[in-house]
Amino acid sequence: MRHLLSAGDLSRDEAIQILDTAEELLNVASRPIKKLPTLRGRTVVNLFYEDSTRTRISFEAAAKRLSADVINFSAKGSSVSKGESLKDTALTLQAMGADAVVIRHHLSGAPHRLASSGWMHGAIVNAGDGTHEHPTQALLDAFTMRRHLGDLTDRRITIVGDVLHSRVARSNALLLSTLGAEVTLVAPPTLLPVGVEKWPVHTTYDLDSALHKADAVMMLRVQAERMQNAYFPSAREYSRRYGLDARRMGMLPDHAIVMHPGPMNRGMEISAEVADSVRSVIVEQVTNGVAVRMAVLYLLLSGSNESDPIPESLV
Amino acid sequence: MSAYLIRNANILGEQVADILVRDGVIESIGSALAADDATVVEAKGLIALPGLVDIHTHLREPGREDAETVLTGSQAAARGGYTAVFAMANTEPVADTAGVVEQVWRLGKEAGYVDVQPVGAVTVGLAGERLAELGAMADSAAQVRVFSDDGKCVHDAVLMRRALEYVKAFGGVIAQHAQEPRLTEGAQMNEGELSGILGLTGWPAVAEEAIIARDVLLTAHVDSRLHVCHLSTKGSVDIVRQAKVRGVNVTAEVTPHHLLLTDELARSYNPIFKVNPPLRTAEDVEAVRAGLADGTIDVVGTDHAPHPMEDKECEWSSAAFGMLGLEEALGVVQLTMVDTGNLTWAGVADRMSFTPAKIGRLADQGRPLVAGEPANICLYDPDAARTVDPYASASKSRNNPYADRELPGAVVATFLRGVPTVLDGKLQEISA
Amino acid sequence: MSSTSASPRARVVLDDRDISRALTRITHEILERNRDSRGLVILGIPTRGVHLASRIAARMSEVEGRTIAHGALDITMYRDDLRMKPARALEHTSIPEDIDGKTVVLIDDVLFSGRTIRAALDALSDIGRPRAVQLAVLVDRGHRELPIRADFVGKNLPTSLSEKVRVRLSESDEADQVTIEGGEAA
């Protein structure tokens, strides 16, 4: 593993290795000294073109617990907002000796560009790109599910909401099917991507039908502004047809868990009652996020020797 | 003016003969011609084609001289075997007045590598709101006959109808960039399985097809003439095919890149492959090849669209649409149409020279290679092969989607009215 | 590492009975040195150190007449060669009880450069502050690169650097055996 760009790039063995490693690293959080010397002297850059305090903090905590030096490079208040190109930013990071760049970008594929352009040589971790993917979120979701449900083979996972615009849904669909789970995507037809029938998942427009056998239900954030583009008529109608409320939660098997990648729209895709119920593992997802990101950084950065020098053509 | 004796050229791949060029015209064609004063050009093994005519070129001047100028674009065209190009109107300022089209036309004359025939904008500023002064452009020195808002679609049905009607007065044609704007808001690539996976907003085929369908109906209704730019989908080929059966006066164009490349290239997120209309599926590529073979698609137009490096060295969604093509078009056509048996060299001459000149009403371009005609000739070696190097180009830009690809063929010489613009594969100095 | 039986060129230096005797002796030495076994925490270093720790703890329990707990201390994240080698999977760390103020006995199969033990000491100090740390190894093959020595040694085994010492234990391999492989002809 050289970069983590898409959950789809992970083999089953690689995914399991990350999850197993995270399992061990979770214990570090409960020790008196919550730090490992593993990445001492390595530099991890958090390159955030999009505000996401929770993801940035999670990666920052992960890198720091591994003793890496962390540089936060935010699009706000940096040369990025003055129009510096991705290329120039990448050359700068290369010159700074970044061993890994955790990139969050509002445009799909920006992490791929960094990884394949030759502008820099560090490992690239996709921390969410546009409407494409968010592989570490999927890993932490799978990690959380595994802790509650055990091996995910043949487990039924229902993902509900704005699949079209959701990088979380894409990454989860790919990773969970790699791990052998049976994924069902539930959304109004307008919010399912063209070609979804070729994905390794089931789809349905009817939420109720996808609840009674589900081992886990993941509710996706739905932005109310989507209704301006006629994806659905109103927030109320969306909530009625695709929101998870107490009645629907009652249809789930007793062992089933409720997940949400956050931030939640209470009252839209999830009712407060459900979000705060004992089945909800939403807060746990946050804790697990740090361990999973530690695992990813460890596996990407150990073994890679000193980063290569910049090719002459770029100097 | 000097004379050239082109020996043993394979004319349209049909007949090996000598061509004697003098004073800008083909003086004679025959075997074992002799002329003591003529420079001999040995053309054994070379195909002689009429000078190619590109109905769809972006020369960027005025306004974006950092990307291309009339001179550099003309030179790239000459290197591609072209003797005439239609320069699209989306310059800065837009070519929507007699003044701008005459400027472009004059710059073309000064450059002297190809005939630069300006295309006039259909609407003022390409804004799609009111008609530009089409008649003034038609009457100008540039004698504009092709009108297009290319880059943008004339999506207002009433405006499109009026434009089609209005240009009948001077034998004009509306060249439509078929793209329903609402269906393609924020669109980045072909809408299909891949756009869903890559998380890039899709550009659905129906957004092209719906406009083409509407436009052929409008064209029939007002009995005018429509040219469909860079048609890219199987559905579009079907619509044009049916329209022709029904006798609608419609012509269609396909780009070299839509004949060869598919949307799979977007997987790299490398914006060098970002273009409008987007690269489509392999099935669409098959359909446009078949359409070009059976004449449903009349011409190959390059949609040569130079962009400076910084507009491509960025995220896919921030990158500009468009790719180069003038210097690779003939090679791509050979690869996809000739070598596959879809088209003869005579067919190539038809799709890349005769018909585009006819559509654009260029009198002395796209003429047959016979005595008495203007000596616009392309000598092409179909047995050569090359690896495309974006830096070995006359264009100012490097957004070449064929970079590092093997393409067959090489343009050995191009004659514009008897003057070699390219000889031995090398661009010649032109004394204007 | 290997679970296959000794290759033809391998020389058996300890067989199952030798290993058993050595562990019994180490157990007694540990108990002798540390009068009060209640203050002892036995930690094995994965993989084979954990098996040895479990055997030693079992013997201690027998002698002491009560269950002596043992645990595992993974040192992967503390290694000093992480940059050079491909990422390795983590082994499980389990600390049976609070180590503050206790005597920790680290158990490993082979003592060589001393780097593993250096890493283990670092790992230990991140978990707590033991009163003392002692080291027991089945085999000491020499060639130390750090100022580290074992308190309890099953067998001192002079080796050349070109030789490989392989410890096989029935928990992960098919038999108990220590062999020396490779090097110059014996």
CA-based nearest distance B257→chain A, Å:
22
Instruction: Name the CATH superfamily, with its identifier, for domain B51-359.
Output: Metal-dependent hydrolases (3.20.20.140)
Res B218 pLDDT > 60: yes
The answer to whether A116 contacts B268, with C-beta atoms less than 8 Å apart, is yes
Phi, psi values for residue C182, rounded to 5°: 75, -160
Mean pLDDT of A279-301: 92
pLDDT greater at residue B15 or residue A30: B15
Q: What is the mean pLDDT of chain A?
A: 91
CA-based nearest distance A106→chain B, Å:
10
Which of A80, A104, A105, A107 should be substituted to probe chain B, the one whose Cβ sees the most B Cβ atoms within 10 Å?
A107
Give me the pLDDT at residue C108, please: 97
Give me the pLDDT at residue A312, please: 37
> Do residues A275 and A264 make contact, with C-beta atoms less than 8 angstroms apart?
yes
Subunits close to C (at least 3 CB pairs below 8 A): A
Give me the pLDDT at residue C87, please: 79
Mean pLDDT of B202-215: 98
Give me the pLDDT at residue C8, please: 58
- Residue A76: band (very low, low, confident or very high) from pLDDT cuts 50, 70, 90: low
Look up the CATH architecture of domain B3-47+372-427: Roll (2.30)
Q: A198 at the B interface (CB within 8 A)?
A: yes
Give me the pLDDT at residue C2, please: 43
Q: B186 at the A interface (CB within 8 A)?
A: no
Subunits close to A (at least 3 CB pairs below 8 A): B, C
> Which chain A residue is nearest to residue B309, measuring alpha carbons?
A87
Handedness of CA A161, A163, A164, A167 (dihedral sign): positive
Mean pLDDT of B400-420: 97
pLDDT greater at residue A83 or residue B71: B71
The answer to whether A129 contacts B316, with C-beta atoms less than 8 Å apart, is no
The answer to whether B270 contacts A194, with C-beta atoms less than 8 Å apart, is no
Give me the pLDDT at residue A279, please: 92
Chain A residues with CB-CB distance to C122 below 8 A: 37
Mean pLDDT of B159-171: 98
Maximum average pLDDT range among A66-75, A277-286, B158-167: B158-167
Share of chain A above pLDDT 90, in %: 78
* Nearest-angstrom CA–CA distance, B276 and A272: 46
Say yes or no: do domains B3-47+372-427 and B51-359 share a fold.
no
Q: A105 at the B interface (CB within 8 A)?
A: yes
> Do residues B102 and B383 make contact, with C-beta atoms less than 8 angstroms apart?
no
- Residue A308: band (very low, low, confident or very high) from pLDDT cuts 50, 70, 90: very low
Quick: pLDDT tens for C129-183.
Answer: 999 999 999 999 999 999 999 999 999 999 999 999 999 999 999 899 999 998 7
CA-based nearest distance A43→chain C, Å:
13
Residues of B carrying an active site annotation? 303
Res B66 pLDDT > 80: yes
Chain A residues with CB-CB distance to B317 below 8 A: 107-109, 130
What the block records as the tokens of A243 is 């929101």
- Residue C72: band (very low, low, confident or very high) from pLDDT cuts 50, 70, 90: very high
Give me the pLDDT at residue A287, please: 85
Half-sphere exposure of residue B49: CA atoms within 13 angstroms, side-chain side: 31
Res A311 pLDDT > 80: no
- Residue A236: band (very low, low, confident or very high) from pLDDT cuts 50, 70, 90: very high
Res A268 pLDDT > 60: yes
Mean pLDDT of B233-246: 98
Res C5 pLDDT > 70: no
* Nearest-angstrom CA–CA distance, B246 and B237: 14
Mean pLDDT of C87-101: 89
Give me the pLDDT at residue C83, please: 80
Determine how many CB atoms are found less than 10 A away from the CB of residue C122: 16
> Which chain A residue is nearest to residue C100, measuring alpha carbons?
A32
Chain B residues with CB-CB distance to A199 below 8 A: 196-197
> Containing H/E element for A13?
helix A12-25
The answer to whether A36 contacts C74, with C-beta atoms less than 8 Å apart, is no
Q: Where are the domains of chain B?
A: 3-47+372-427, 51-359
* Nearest-angstrom CA–CA distance, A120 and B191: 31
Q: C47 at the A interface (CB within 8 A)?
A: no
User: What is the complex's ipTM, to 2 decimals?
Assistant: 0.91
* B254-to-A143, B251, B266, B351, B431 alpha-carbon distances in Å: 50, 11, 20, 10, 34
Give me the pLDDT at residue B398, please: 97
* Nearest-angstrom CA–CA distance, B106 and B95: 13
- Residue B432: band (very low, low, confident or very high) from pLDDT cuts 50, 70, 90: low
Entry pTM = 0.91
Q: C74 at the A interface (CB within 8 A)?
A: yes
The answer to whether C128 contacts A24, with C-beta atoms less than 8 Å apart, is no
Quick: pLDDT tens for B310-352.
Answer: 999 999 999 999 999 999 999 999 999 999 999 999 999 999 9
The answer to whether A36 contacts C77, with C-beta atoms less than 8 Å apart, is yes
The answer to whether A132 contacts B199, with C-beta atoms less than 8 Å apart, is yes
What the block records as the tokens of C77 is 């994240």
Res A306 pLDDT > 50: no
Q: B310 at the A interface (CB within 8 A)?
A: yes
* Nearest-angstrom CA–CA distance, B132 and B123: 5
The answer to whether C126 contacts A302, with C-beta atoms less than 8 Å apart, is no
**What is the residue type of A279?**
R
- Residue C1: band (very low, low, confident or very high) from pLDDT cuts 50, 70, 90: very low
Share of chain B above pLDDT 90, in %: 98
Q: What is the mean pLDDT of chain C?
A: 90
Mean pLDDT of A30-41: 89
Lowest-pLDDT range, A87-96, B122-131, B133-142, C77-86? C77-86
* Nearest-angstrom CA–CA distance, B384 and B407: 9
Q: B196 at the A interface (CB within 8 A)?
A: yes
